[in-house]
Amino acid sequence: MAEVYSISMNKGGVGKTSLVTNLASILAKKHKKKVLIIDTDAQGNSSIAFGQNPYSFENTIYDVMLNGCNPKNAIHTMKKNIDLLPANDDMNFLEFDVLPHLDKYSRPYYLLKDGMKDIEKDYDYIFIDTPPSLGFVAGNCLTYANHVIIPFVPEMYDVKGLIRVIKAIAEFRNDYNPSLEVAGVIGMKVESSTSLHSEMLQEARRYCNQSNIYMYDTIIPKSIAFAKAVAYSNVPAILSSESKNKLVNSYDDVAKEFLEIESVKGQV
């Protein structure tokens, strides 16, 4: 039975898609895990990361959530052990298509959970790439997920945003999903040579320690290699020639840390 992870942060540009696609890729390639990526962001960046046009798919997560489409008819294999349930800009209209019709959609925050019913048995892990907000779509992701990983860039306003997101998730958990847990916070696009990033990482780590929230020891450095891999190789960096780059290899450490946490949870 799959563990379901929502990769959530209330702003764009923090590396959600990079984290989802590269972590999924290394778990699938090196650790032989069967992984499903669910893209819920209208930009369709998870498709683009694998060289796919998000508008080329007949069915998407929108059809699963609103039109009763069997998810197996919308899931596509990207690489060995990596499947994708894509999204496109139909997701921009999801809230408008649902909220005026609550007589039809009586469980609006459960559309994703209900639509993906029974699919978990086919995978070890499901990772949800979420939109850059904590709105209606993100709420569906948090209702479905068991765990949340929060990526953030260690800058002044991003740390404040991180704290707000953690508090918002706690409130959402109380109302909709009591089993939801914040499984980790991870620093993204880190420039360790700058004092600002170092100071903000320390502040975030202090907050996480005080709040009993796990913060990854591993950080993902800022590197053009991630964008180059998608642009020139049509795959996430960990599956491209850029995987030899020591900065890209930081995802190997993230995956090891991720699996160590999973192992500890399994022993509890």
CATH assignment at residue 100:
3.40.50.300
Confidence check: pLDDT of 266 > 70: no
Of the candidates 146, 212, 210, which has an alpha carbon nearest to the alpha carbon of residue 8? 146
- How many folded domains does the chain comprise? 1
Confidence check: pLDDT of 267 > 60: no
The arithmetic mean of pLDDT across residues 144-166, rounded, is 90
- Sign of the torsion angle spanned by Cα atoms 58, 24, 237, 239: negative
pLDDT of residue 157: 77
How far is the CA of 42 from the CAs of 62, 94, 112, 131, 140, in angstroms? 10, 10, 15, 7, 14
pLDDT of residue 268: 43
Of the candidates 248, 253, 250, which has an alpha carbon nearest to the alpha carbon of residue 230? 248
Top-confidence range, 63-77, 186-200, 247-261: 63-77
Confidence check: pLDDT of 137 > 70: yes
**Contact at 8 Å (CB) between 161 and 127?**
no
In 168-212, the DSSP E strands lie at 181-187
pLDDT of residue 156: 78
Cα–Cα distance between 135 and 67 in angstroms, integer?
Answer: 21
Give percent above pLDDT 70 in the chain: 97
Residue 230: pLDDT band with limits 50, 70, 90: confident
Please give the single-letter amino acid code of residue 48.
I
The arithmetic mean of pLDDT across residues 224-252, rounded, is 77
Cα–Cα distance between 246 and 249 in angstroms, integer?
Answer: 5
Confidence check: pLDDT of 256 > 60: yes
What confidence tens digit (pLDDT) does each residue in 7-50 have? 999 888 889 999 999 999 999 999 999 999 999 999 999 999 99
Give percent above pLDDT 90 in the chain: 72
Residue 232: pLDDT band with limits 50, 70, 90: low
Q: Which structural domain range is residue 81 located in?
A: 3-267
**Contact at 8 Å (CB) between 59 and 68?**
no
